[in-house]
Amino acid sequence: MSEPAVCAAEEQNDYSLCENCAVTLGEDDQVKDSNGGCRACCGILDHYLQPHFISRILQCVTDFNCDVPAFSLSLRMPEVVFLAYFLHQNLHQSHKFSIDTKFCPVKEVYKDLLCEKLKEVSPDIVDHTSVATINIEFSVDAPNLFTECFSHGTMAKKNGRKRTFEERTRNKAGVISRNDFVQMVNSCIDCSKSYSPSLKCFSLAKASVYITVESVFIGGRYLKYSRTLSQTPWFIDGKRKGDFSVEELISNPMKKLAGSDESFFRSSGREDIDARMLGSGRPFAIELVNPSKTKYTEEELSELAREISSSKKVEVRHLHLVEKSLLSHLKDGEMEKKKKYCAILFSEEPFSEDDLAKLTVDEEFSIQQKTPIRVLHRRPLSTRPKVIYNMRCERLDERHLALYLCTEAGAYVKEFVHGDLGRTRPSVCSLLGRVVDIVQLDVADVLLQWPVQA
């Protein structure tokens, strides 16, 4: 549907009002047939309440195909609409007033009238508590509007010096904030000078309509069975490494099911690309942005888990809907949780029974870890104390051991084994008094309660 044409009456300085503006301004006798050209509301209270625009809104709802039956309303109007209303009120009323940044009669009146029009067609379509929203954004083309209408307006700096509107926007391409706008209008009102701003600089409003839905969060735990799979997409010097990531393998099927625009991945920590994630899995949550599907049955979530797990690279368990307020539990748990590991160690010199005894500790002890060399490019240099709660080992053959340990979150296990050139103390190397290397590492479990109940 095309936007309304500029009213020809304006060329004759005929400031006619639409019916709704006349009622709002208390000037019923000023009502004229503006043909969608009312400049007090930039056509909003006239053209955008007609049946063709109501049909446009309903078609937008139909096209989005959301499983939410009712919608709240969100309106965005530019400051130009405030100014248009102010100028017409100044023209049609003799008393002085002060504009309020928190209240725009055009916006409030339009919202009430639009609700009535929508309910006439679909009685249950409006619910101001709904998670889905019909968004209507109005724009008005008026490039020289502020400089023409505010030629007498000034604005005070903190030091008391007055600034003209041109000074205020000299380096901001004419952009003005809501608060500055109100100051300028009220400054114009306070001026004793008489001026008659031209309303030819007002064009009629254009509108865009779109649907948004509050994000849906699906949480669970994932296991990773590949030693070549990064948790998130991995880039080095702008080049992608690997075809997939844990995030993509989990989020892509979810986005497809939800009809979501995009997603955000959250997890309680991360494992190295060459480490598997075993045990009960790592807690995670996916935020699905602007989904058309917001409701899920247990059967749908179970089927979703089977689809994700069919890749054989990852497995997801315990999928469930998560309240946004519970996501902080994931972040807080990053540094509060305990983690279990299984590391395969290698030594050129055969491991003795005495070596096994030294690596079997039932009581917790502390280690000091400088930021590992391998992460210095992305982590600040510092020394962090970490706790090893217990550890035990199992001989695999003369030169290989399986070391099982439970650590504080954030401990670097690889560096605890080989010592990182003395940057981690004590280490397995320092405890045994010789070089010991790590062959492979698995995260055996993440001890964090997830899912949690609201």
Q: Using one digit for the tens of pLDDT, what is the confidence trace for 113-150?
A: 999 999 999 999 999 999 999 999 998 876 555 555 55
Quick one: pLDDT at residue 275? Answer: 97
The catalytic position among 272, 354, 362, 437 is 272
| pLDDT tens-digit readout, 149-175 | 554 444 444 455 555 544 554 444 444
Quick one: pLDDT at residue 336? Answer: 76
pTM for the structure as a whole: 0.80
Q: What proportion of the chain, given as a percentage, has pLDDT over 70?
A: 75
Q: Which positions ≥6 away from 249 have C-beta within 8 Å? A: 229, 308, 311, 313, 314
Q: 124 catalytic, yes or no? A: no
| pLDDT tens-digit readout, 334-364 | 777 899 999 999 999 999 999 999 999 999 9
Residue that wins the pLDDT comparison between 199 and 134:
134
| 199: Cα within 13 Å, side-chain hemisphere | 29
**Least confident segment among 74-78, 274-278, 352-356:** 74-78
